[in-house]
Chains A and B, each alone.
Chain A
Amino acid sequence: MIWNEAKECMSRDQMTALQSARLVKLVDYMYHNVPFYRKKMQAVGLMPGDIRSIEDITKLPFTTKDDLRDNYPFGLFAVPNSQIVRIHASSGTTGKATVVGYTRRDLDIWAECVARCMTMAGVTKDDIIQIAYGYGLFTGGLGAHDGAQKIGATVVPMSTGNTKKLTTMMLDFGATAIACTPSYLLHISEVLAEEGVLDQVKLKRAICGAEPWTEKMHHEIETKLNIQAFDIYGLSEVMGPGVACDCEFHKGLHVCEDHFYPEVLDPATLMPVGDGETGELAFTTLTKEGLPLIRYRTKDLTSIDHSTCECGRTSARISRFKGRVDDMLIIRGVNVFPSQIEAALVEVDEVTPHYMMVVDRVNNLDTLEVQVELDQKYYTDEIRVIEALTKKIAHVIQQALGINAKVKIVEPQSLIRSQGKAVHVIDKRKLY
């Protein structure tokens, strides 16, 4: 089912016309209501009249997370507090919280977007859905709540923290859907398995988001619980969950494009790249009133596809995230992300998932060495087996990255493991 066929299936020409009209209006609105952004425009000699269509968007200055922090708490709001009806905030790992404000209309549009996403995941008014995101300053709980309620589903606002109560109610109520983070859902599935009640679960679908998850986790969730799992995406700065979601074909996440204009930017030039090419995702909130943002850089790496999906929706799809811009390396002019190596190595059974990239510059040429550990099951007493494996991995990496890498097989447990953010790159080049 499609929640809003008029918007989700409009022709590309119609969509471009709608986005153009909304951008023109937005720029005028920002110029007159957000002094910080007006100054940004003035700094590059731009007047609202210079923006006539969506193609002109590349003339506009970017907005970053630092801009939000620098204007803490309400500096970027476009309306007085009398029109703000809700505040959410995300506590960053560094620095101040990022505060976002919504008008009544913003909340309506948010619920509309989440309703589209949940409908994509197959949720209907007949579903009993447990919302197991945190309720509070975090956008996850209330965002998912309002969307599910708009569909007319029976909403159970569980929040997080009491898994025992959640599993009990899941069984007692016969819950058919759940919205939570993928890691929490895996935990829930383990609890259900321990209790020996997996076969009594009526769950059919899960809408998971708020953290990156791998294809492997996706598969694990689906098989353990015998459900379909969907990926919902959003970020509080832009709105919250519901910016994009994947449909039953799982070929990228459909963006609610009439409200959030997505751009994928070359990390080096910051110019938009073509369909299928990897770059940094940026959003322009085309209809937001409270905290509208123009070209907000998400730092998430993705690619975009504007072709019509098998589900019938014409809205652009963004791929599952390929990493963060901060992790990017430029080797021999090619943008390389550690996550690409990680994904490539998953295909190779003979090595563990641990790896280290060593980048150096020898005679003015960049070199890349990828160190991997042989999996215990594949230890050998023959040199040629290791040499063949080295070649195989080099080929897999070449296919994934488009550059040649030297592969070095190292002793087991010799690559650094860490509980938190693992170090995967040693860059020995002195470039700056």
Chain B
Amino acid sequence: MFAKQLTVFIENRTGRLAEVLGVLRENNVNILSLSLADTTEFGLLRLIVDNAAAGKEKLTEKGFSSLLSDVSIIKIPHKVGSLQELLKIIDKNGVNIEYMYGLSVKCDDAFIVLKASDGKKVDEILTANGVGTITCEELAQI
């Protein structure tokens, strides 16, 4: 199962990140997790939100370039070593991970947002190994 990630291209200018967050706030879009990948010139703000489609629409209205892409939000036990176990499974199948970032919530589970070179294959691998994935909407309920 895939989740929709919202990615925003932002130039490295003072206040630009805050402006993006402001747009989401005004439209009541809740951020569940984020990662900021940056270079000296620009950054890619990757967001898991409760309503990615609405987020994209509002950002586009305000002139930001954003994109919806499929990522896996993987549920793993909230304990030492579980992330490494997950990666072992993926590596063993020869899939490259493009990027990943995590979030933990007040429960027994932790969540990893992961994008691989071959998303479909990762999804199959996870299913075959009994590893659960969830959607943004489900995540928002936790």
* Bound together: yes
Instruction: Spell out A's residues near B (CB within 8 Å).
Output: 374, 376, 379-383, 386-387, 408-414
Name which residue of chain B comes closest to A411, CB basis: B11
A101 to B69, CA, bound (A): 67
7 residue pairs bridging A and B, Cβ less than 8 Å apart: A379-B67, A382-B98, A383-B44, A386-B44, A409-B42, A411-B9, A414-B63
B67–A380 CB distance below 8 A: yes
Mask: chain B, 51-65; 1 = CB below 8 Å from A; 0 = not = 000000000000111
A374 to B42, CA, bound (A): 12
A379 to B66, CA, bound (A): 7
Give the interface residue-count category, chain B: 20 to 34
Least CB distance, B17 to chain A, in whole angstroms: 12
On whether A381 and B5 interact (CB within 8 A), knowing A411-B64, A412-B63, the answer reads yes
A410–B11 CB distance below 8 A: yes
Q: Which residues of B contact A386 (CB under 8 A)?
A: 9, 42, 44
**Taking the complex as formed, is B37 at the interface, i.e. its CB lies under 8 A from any CB of chain A?**
yes
A381–B42 CB distance below 8 A: no
Least CB distance, A50 to chain B, in whole angstroms: 58
Mask: chain B, 37-57; 1 = CB below 8 Å from A; 0 = not = 101011010100000000000
On whether A374 and B39 interact (CB within 8 A), knowing A381-B44, A381-B46, the answer reads no
CB contact between A411 and one of B63, B67, B98, B99 (< 8 Å): that residue = B63
On whether A413 and B44 interact (CB within 8 A), knowing A379-B7, A381-B5, the answer reads no
A-B contact sample (5 more), CB < 8 A, given A379-B67, A383-B44, A410-B11:
A374-B65, A381-B46, A381-B115, A409-B42, A412-B64
B39–A387 CB distance below 8 A: yes
A379 to B9, CA, bound (A): 8
A413–B9 CB distance below 8 A: no
Instruction: Spell out B's residues near A (CB within 8 Å).
Output: 5, 7, 9-11, 37, 39, 41-42, 44, 46, 63-67, 69, 98-99, 115
B65–A379 CB distance below 8 A: yes
Name which residue of chain B comes closest to A412, CB basis: B65
A376 to B41, CA, bound (A): 19
B99–A382 CB distance below 8 A: yes
Q: How many A-B contacts if CB must be within 8 Å? A: 46
Q: Which residues of B contact A376 (CB under 8 A)?
A: 65
A382 to B63, CA, bound (A): 20
Q: Which residues of B contact A387 (CB under 8 A)?
A: 39
On whether A411 and B44 interact (CB within 8 A), knowing A381-B115, A387-B39, the answer reads no
A410 to B9, CA, bound (A): 9
Name which residue of chain A comes closest to B43, CB basis: A383
A45 to B65, CA, bound (A): 64
Least CB distance, B102 to chain A, in whole angstroms: 17
Name which residue of chain B comes closest to A409, CB basis: B42
A412 to B115, CA, bound (A): 25
A411 to B66, CA, bound (A): 10
Least CB distance, A411 to chain B, in whole angstroms: 5
Q: Which residues of B contact A383 (CB under 8 A)?
A: 37, 39, 44
Least CB distance, A392 to chain B, in whole angstroms: 16
Least CB distance, A415 to chain B, in whole angstroms: 12
A380 to B10, CA, bound (A): 12
Most chain A beta-carbon neighbours within 10 Å: one of B7, B9, B37, B67: B9
A413 to B64, CA, bound (A): 9
Most chain B beta-carbon neighbours within 10 Å: one of A376, A381, A383: A381
On whether A408 and B69 interact (CB within 8 A), knowing A374-B9, A382-B98, A382-B99, the answer reads no
A182 to B7, CA, bound (A): 42
A408 to B9, CA, bound (A): 13
B7–A381 CB distance below 8 A: yes
A381–B41 CB distance below 8 A: no
Least CB distance, B58 to chain A, in whole angstroms: 15
Name which residue of chain A comes closest to B66, CB basis: A379
A413 to B66, CA, bound (A): 13
Least CB distance, B107 to chain A, in whole angstroms: 27
Q: Which residues of A contact B41 (CB under 8 A)?
A: 408-409
Q: Which residues of A contact B10 (CB under 8 A)?
A: 411
Least CB distance, A356 to chain B, in whole angstroms: 13
Least CB distance, B98 to chain A, in whole angstroms: 6
Closest 9 CB pairs between A and B? A381-B7, A379-B67, A412-B65, A381-B69, A383-B37, A413-B63, A411-B11, A379-B65, A408-B41
Q: Which residues of B contact A374 (CB under 8 A)?
A: 9, 65
Name which residue of chain B comes closest to A376, CB basis: B65
Name which residue of chain B comes closest to A406, CB basis: B41
A383 to B10, CA, bound (A): 12
On whether A381 and B67 interact (CB within 8 A), knowing A387-B39, A408-B41, A409-B42, the answer reads yes
